[in-house]
């Protein structure tokens, strides 16, 4: 089973980011429609649709998409009409429409582990942008997120209202510096109705890209870097910045 298919029921509980307003401000500047690559459970695209923007999203995890569709179905018909969801791989997708803004949000770009994967995904995104369309690409700043390797960190117990279960989460990081890939292992101890604990293990491999490298690969794939931020308040990139957020324009 695909990793995110296992993780889907608990994803929203473990991933709460303060990024929605940042992307909405970009939408106000550049306009819709907007494409959310690797949209997951639909957190961002629902925010966009509620603000009146035409939105498309795709993901390679069917279970994540199922959860996104469940959320969309709870919205008013006029909001549902603004959202298009599809199953696709960000390295090769064909949506037959153009967008003024496209996003690699929520560390999506870090799932591209090779140079070829990154190039293919960027070229696909470029093909789906209008002339002078914008791309926003957000990744984790490896220097800020450096952890002592192979140490178990305990996140704590949380209640999942969607499943009606308590989950106790822990995680371990291991960074392979020579390939810039971090292996992230998440351990979920789920308390069932009979008080038995079921353990699920989620292993993710995430590639880190440093700012100079990011600027280079954007240029190689037809983009002009316009801005680089270290957080969602548009602060500069420093060692202490939690994120690296690139805003780029499609080159003619």
pLDDT tens digits, residue range 76-103? 999 999 999 999 999 999 999 999 999 9
Q: Please state the rounded mean pLDDT for residues 150-154.
A: 72
What are the residue ranges of CATH 3.40.50.150 in the chain? 3-142+209-250
Contact between 167 and 160 (Cβ < 8 Å): yes
- CATH code for 3-142+209-250? 3.40.50.150
Q: Which of 40-44, 166-170, 183-187 has the highest mean pLDDT?
A: 40-44
**pLDDT interval class at 3 (50, 70, 90):** low
**pLDDT interval class at 37 (50, 70, 90):** very high
**pLDDT interval class at 247 (50, 70, 90):** very high
Mean pLDDT of the chain: 88
- Residue 4 burial (10 A CB sphere; 0-12, 13-18, 19+): buried
The pLDDT value recorded for residue 28 is 96
Considering Cα of 3, then 5, then 6, then 12, what sign does the dihedral take? positive
Contacts 24+ apart (CB under 8 A), 50-54: 50/75, 50/79, 51/24, 51/27, 52/82, 53/27, 53/82, 54/82
Q: Please state the rounded mean pLDDT for residues 41-61.
A: 95
Please tell me which residue, 148 or 182, carries the higher pLDDT value: 182
**pLDDT interval class at 239 (50, 70, 90):** confident
Dihedral of CA atoms 232, 235, 240, 246 in degrees, nearest 10, equals 60
Nearest to 142 by CA among 230, 23, 19, 16: 230
Dihedral of CA atoms 16, 17, 20, 23 in degrees, nearest 10, equals -140
Residue 5: in which H helix or E strand, if any? helix 3-14
Nearest to 139 by CA among 93, 180, 85: 180
Neighbours of 168 (CB within 10 A): 16
What are the residue ranges of CATH 2.20.25 in the chain? 153-207
The pLDDT value recorded for residue 1 is 41
52 has a pLDDT exceeding 80: yes
State the DSSP string of 97-123. Answer: --EEEEEE-TTGGGG--SHHHHHHHHH
Q: How far apart are CA 115 and CA 10, in angstroms?
A: 30
**pLDDT interval class at 133 (50, 70, 90):** very high
118 has a pLDDT exceeding 50: yes
Say which CATH architecture domain 153-207 belongs to.
Answer: Single Sheet (2.20)
């Amino acid at each position: 089973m695909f990793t995110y298919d296992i993780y889907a029921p608990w994803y929203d509980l473990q991933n709460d980011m303060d990024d929605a307003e940042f992307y909405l401000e970009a939408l106000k500047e550049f306009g819709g429609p907007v494409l959310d690559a690797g949209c997951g459970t639909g957190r961002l695209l629902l925010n966009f649709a509620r603000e009146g923007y035409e939105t498309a999203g795709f993901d390679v995890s069917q279970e994540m998409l199922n959860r996104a569709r469940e959320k969309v179905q709870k919205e008013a018909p006029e909001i549902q009409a603004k959202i298009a969801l599809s199953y696709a791989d960000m390295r090769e997708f064909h949506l037959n429409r153009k967008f003024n803004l496209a996003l690699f949000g929520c560390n999506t770009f870090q799932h591209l582990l090779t140079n070829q994967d990154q190039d293919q995904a960027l070229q696909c995104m470029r093909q789906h942008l209008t002339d002078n369309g914008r791309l926003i690409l957000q990744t984790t700043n490896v220097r800020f997120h450096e952890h002592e390797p192979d140490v178990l960190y305990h996140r704590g117990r949380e209640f999942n209202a969607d499943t009606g279960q308590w989950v106790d989460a822990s995680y371990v990081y291991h960074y392979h510096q020579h390939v810039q890939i971090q292996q992230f292992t998440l351990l979920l101890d789920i308390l069932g109705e009979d008080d038995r604990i079921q353990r699920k293990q989620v292993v993710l491999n995430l590639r880190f890209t440093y700012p100079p490298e990011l600027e280079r690969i954007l240029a190689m794939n037809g983009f002009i870097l316009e801005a680089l931020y270290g957080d969602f308040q548009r602060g500069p990139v420093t060692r202490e910045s939690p994120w690296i957020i690139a805003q780029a324009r499609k080159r003619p």
